[in-house]
Amino acid sequence: MNLFRSEEDARRWSEFVPGSEAGIVTLEQAMAIMSTPRHRDRFSGHYVSSSPGYTAEFFARVREVTGSDPYWAPPA
């Protein structure tokens, strides 16, 4: 999970995995993925007890941001 100066840099990276092009997203997309309560509410004081309830909204946001790309499909 890394930042690169451009999509071309990501594709040239020595650890780039062929076929994983869908794993490249813009900063705005990445920020949107990290903006549900799963990440915003870590400072709520009840994060551990609340965390099971965050999963559905997080995966829904990922689907919305990535256009339901299979690369971003949640675990079965």
Partner 1 sequence: MADIAMLDRTYDFIMRRLVADGRAPHHTEIASALRVPPADGLRLLRELMAVGLPNWLHPDTDLIASFPPFNNLPTQYRLGVGGEWRWFAQCGLEALAACWAFPGRTVEIKAPCLDCGQPIEVSVRDGRIERAAPATTRFYVSVPLRDWRRNIVYT
Determine which residue in the list 53, 56, 57, 74 makes contact with partner 1, applying CB under 8 A: 74
Span 10-69, contacts to partner 1 by CB under 8 A: 10, 12-17, 20, 23-31, 33-35, 39-40, 42-43, 45-49, 51, 62
Closest Cα to residue 62, out of 22, 6, 16? Answer: 22
Q: How far is the CB of 57 from partner 1 (least distance, A)?
A: 14
CA distances from 65 to 5, 12, 45, 52, 62 (A): 21, 24, 28, 21, 5
Determine which residue in the list 53, 60, 64, 73 makes contact with partner 1, applying CB under 8 A: 73
